[in-house]
Amino acid sequence: MTETTSLPARSDIPFEQTWALESIFATPEDWETACKNLDQLIPALSAYQSRLNESPQVLLEAILKLEEVGTLLGKIATYANNASAVDTFDQGATARAGQARSIGSHTGAAMAFFDPELMTIGFDTLKRWMKETPELAFFAQYVDRLERRSAHVRSEEIEEVLALTGDSFSGAYNAFNMLNNGDLKFLPATSSDGTQYEIGQSSLGSLITQPDRDLRRSAWQNYADGYLAFKNTSAAILTTAVKQDVFMAQVRNYPGSLHASLEPNNVPVSVYHNLIEVYKQNLPTWHKYWRVRRKALGLESFGVYDIKAPLTTAKPVVPFEQAVDWICDGMAPLGEEYVSILRRGCLEGRWVDRSRNRGKREGAFSSGSHGTNPFIMMSYADDLFSLSTLAHELGHSMHSYYSRDNQRFLYSRYGLFVAEVASNFNQATVRNYLMRTQTAPDFQIALIEEAMSNYHRYFFIMPTLARFELEMHTRAEKGAPLSANILIGILADLFKEGYGDEVEFDRERIGITWAQFLHMYMNFYVYQYATGISGAHALSHGVTSGAPGAAERYLNFLKSGSSRYPLDALKQAGVDLSSPEPVSAAFQALAGLVDRLETLVG
């Protein structure tokens, strides 16, 4: 008779392991009241339509009203979406999340007049107003961004229609979310002694890092098979999202979806292509890593499910409180203020929802809005991988904290291109601290394993998905067919390059990887993990080596929000990501880790 290990229900999770959503709204009823208040604010904002050209004072009033509306909308969306993310079986939370999307679409339509009307005023007039009216000086960056993308802003009527598509165009994302985190079921993983373990989005990570190879193999295979059973449905959902990207790019007169994603942030498409080329040039490093791992594990063949197998039996146990201590110690070069905010958020403010429970969304993320605390969703498993994930999400959260604390609503949301810099900065900096202080060989091996797991996700999986994403969108733009088997074939071929002859190639199960990533619904987002880790390592090196002014420049970067263009903000912090050099340097650091691991495991 086999033993079965199951995930607990959300209602059985200890209070202290959940995030403090009540800090936004005490009850769902208070959330409903906020929705009504927002509905009453919309007419006050709409009243400024066709009036922005009256005077600088009227424009300032409209901006302030827009910020008031946007702040309240952010709180409404954060509360609803976060509650749904940790328990997809909570029908009330799911309903509120859907309602929040509808409210967001309606509010976006009410705001749609703003940019087109600014353009009718004329940029010369706007610049004169800002020069003559000190209270409007803050608006300069917004106007500059608008001027740069003015060729892609449509009339008020079209902008309103595009804003109204927000709710319906979120359908693909929502369908993926419900299939992935609610309806999709997996056969249990089975260990070598017959014990069965429930596979869920919050438990897979811990299952594929177990020393029992049978358990790892069955977890990986059954997880992939769950997606293969719905491959046609998943392909239909994803191709819908891709075609929506293509539609929006065409409506806004961009050459393609890639340009539509990068150009609003003033990021040239060459950055994307440079990353892919550097990645392809460094594939031999990955091939060597697979060999080192196979030999260290004493295996004749090496499968994808062996990539995170522990290389030492002395796997460090890292409780949540210990992880917080180590992260705080590692981040000490940024100063006492940074560390105290981080520690208080984790241990007193309940920023982190860390439980593993049935119905919890896959992966990890940091969320929040102007006027709220940062919030982190993850599934903590008392190991170095979880410590690293926590450090990563705290990087996002501290970036958000400083941006919101130092910028008004208009500039409080930093661009996606810089988002993965702060998160990877924390991981690199904490890892550097642990490398110096935890010198036991087994701990060092486990630490390198964690580092390589991080690199594997951001410097192997994500660049491969970036290549896949570009191919998908290119095909959609040309009207070429996209089906489940075509998508599986495209991604399988790309992964085959990366795995080479060193990894057993299970074509169908590897090829379905695209169905497992929510990131595929975020128009050309995944490449930014690789550029982010590159920028992060360069900046972390400056801070940890004590370079004069490096810590202060980095903190100023965190505080800048979107008040500067992403590449400009990073240059002022100390790294130029318009060049392929930081990516190449990060790959050199990766190669050094592989060499060090090879020495440690003999």
Q: Provide the annotated active-site residues.
A: 393
Residue 98 CB contacts under 8 Å (≥ 6 apart), including other chains = 174
Q: How far is CA 520 from CA 239, 268, 421, 581, in A?
A: 10, 21, 20, 27
Give the pairing of strands 196-197 and 365-367. Answer: unpaired
Q: Which residue has the tokens 């930014």?
A: 528
CB 387 within 8 A of CB 318: yes
| Count of CB atoms situated within 10 Å of the CB of 97 | 21
Distance CA 104, CA 245 (A): 19
Of 79, 13, 69, whose CA–CA distance to 39 is shortest? 69
Distance CA 270, CA 272 (A): 5
> Residue length, the chain?
602
3-state secondary structure of 360: coil
Residue 78 CB contacts under 8 Å (≥ 6 apart), including other chains = 24, 367, 368, 369, 372, 375
Long-range pairs of 162-167 with CB within 8 A, sequence gap ≥ 24: 162/112, 162/248, 162/251, 163/105, 163/108, 163/109, 163/111, 163/112, 164/105, 164/106, 164/108, 164/109, 165/105, 166/101, 166/104, 166/105, 166/108, 167/101, 167/102, 167/104, 167/105, 167/106
Read off the tokens for 350. Answer: 């309940």
Read off the tokens for 244. Answer: 């929506």
Q: What is the dihedral of CA 162, 166, 172, 177, to 10 degrees?
A: 160
| Count of CB atoms situated within 10 Å of the CB of 172 | 20
CB 412 within 8 A of CB 405: no
Write b or e for each residue in 479-491: b if 16 or more Cβ atoms lie within 10 A of its Cβ, otherwise e.
eeebebeebbebb
Distance CA 85, CA 73 (A): 18
Of 419, 357, 410, whose CA–CA distance to 392 is shortest? 419
Residue 33 CB contacts under 8 Å (≥ 6 apart), including other chains = none
Q: Where are the beta strands (DSSP E) in 276-428?
A: 352-353, 365-367, 375-377
